[in-house]
Amino acid sequence: MSKSNNGSGNGGKGIDDSKQQQQPPAYDPNFTAQVIAATGPEAHPRMAEIMPSLLHHLHDFAREVNLTAAEWAAAVDFLNAAGKMSSETRNETALICDILGLESLVDEITSKLLIHAAKDGAAPATPSTVLGPFYRTDAPILPNGSSIVSADAYKLWAGKGNDMTCLVSGRVLSATTGDPLPGAMVDLWLAGPDGLYEQQSVAVPDMNLRGRFQTDAEGHYSVYCVRPTPYGIPDDGPGGALLNMLDRHPWRPAHIHFIVSAPGHNTLTTQVFDREGEWIKNDSVFAVKEELLVDFVAREGDDKAKWSLNYDFVLPEV
């Protein structure tokens, strides 16, 4: 393993201070400043603000690990492969960000900024978590109490889904007043009992296990779907190669995704996680939060659902 080298000439452990001071810098100490100074006066303001920091971290990383030309070329190939694999139905670059914990971190930063900007609340707002790469806009808008599982999908899952039928219901509330929010939109999507989202499986009908539901006058929504199961994130591309190189598993705990919006309130992107499911403490994309753990309850007397989940979403006012 090579010694770390920060370009200021004081890299290397066990060397006393006087010797360190005598060493010339390993790499050109003016190089990063020169690259930063190349930014022109007409640069995009946010880019001009953040790029000096990015360049410092990026160059320091390369110096610290003594990144070689061959390693850099491998990283470029990796990024190119992720880009080439990405399409309407597969976002490999976003997946790599998830594997690296970047989407979870950015979600935490964004939600802290929104909470600071929001009015003081009567109730704590529901925490957000990552969107993930499988969201599709324009899911069908359906009446409350409808099912988002197509009959064909049950056949396809070879009976697996029959024991998993589930009614998900609850209310959308204002964090500011605690009052229900009529006319809020609850957009949800989840993977099937085969562990696949609708767009990952050619056999499953378009928009299966996706739907949008508007809350009624009391702020209620309700939808029949299936109790979610754990699934592995796609690992047949560069993201999977990365997981392999890091000796990591691809599993996500069972969850349902939601985007909840209401006029005058911050839109919430989140997931709820089956408390009893596997991988809850070991999510491959680091998205689980304590407040988002839920309990599915056995349901009696309803032909359409063996399970139920009641969950309220609380949105801060803008």
List residues near ligand BEZ by CB under 6 A: 95, 98, 130, 132-134, 233, 252, 285
274 binds, among ligand BEZ, Fe ion, none (CB under 5 to 8 A by kind): none
* Bridge partners (DSSP) listed for residue 221: 170
**Taking the complex as a whole, how short is the minimal distance between the CB of residue 98 and ligand BEZ, in angstroms?**
4
Token duo for residue 33: 């400043």
**Taking the complex as a whole, how short is the minimal distance between the CB of residue 231 and ligand BEZ, in angstroms?**
8
Dihedral in degrees, nearest 10, Cα atoms 140, 233, 95, 127? 60
**Taking the complex as a whole, how short is the minimal distance between the CB of residue 205 and ligand BEZ, in angstroms?**
19
95 binds, among ligand BEZ, Fe ion, none (CB under 5 to 8 A by kind): ligand BEZ
Token duo for residue 224: 């029949």
Sign of CA dihedral 90, 94, 100, 104: negative
Dihedral in degrees, nearest 10, Cα atoms 138, 143, 149, 150? -90
**Number of other CB atoms surrounding residue 118 within 10 Å:** 17
Token duo for residue 29: 């100490």
Nearer to Fe ion by C-beta: 132 or 193?
Answer: 132
For residues 315 and 181, is the Cβ–Cβ distance under 8 A? yes
11 binds, among Fe ion, ligand BEZ, none (CB under 5 to 8 A by kind): none
Nearer to ligand BEZ by C-beta: 273 or 307?
Answer: 273
Q: Which stretch binds Fe ion (CB under 5 A): 100-108, 127-135, 208-216, 237-245?
A: 127-135
Q: Fill in the DSSP letter of residue 210.
A: E
Nearer to ligand BEZ by C-beta: 240 or 316?
Answer: 240
211 binds, among ligand BEZ, Fe ion, none (CB under 5 to 8 A by kind): none
**Taking the complex as a whole, how short is the minimal distance between the CB of residue 133 and ligand BEZ, in angstroms?**
5
Number of residues that bind Fe ion (CB under 5 A): 1
Nearer to Fe ion by C-beta: 26 or 95?
Answer: 95
**Taking the complex as a whole, how short is the minimal distance between the CB of residue 53 and ligand BEZ, in angstroms?**
26
Nearer to Fe ion by C-beta: 132 or 211?
Answer: 132
Measured distance CA(84)–CA(185) in Å, rounded: 34
**Number of other CB atoms surrounding residue 34 within 10 Å:** 9
Residue nearest to ligand BEZ (CB): 132
> CB-based burial of residue 171 (10 Å sphere; 0-12 exposed, 13-18 middle, 19+ buried)?
buried
For residues 254 and 229, is the Cβ–Cβ distance under 8 A? yes
**Taking the complex as a whole, how short is the minimal distance between the CB of residue 134 and ligand BEZ, in angstroms?**
4
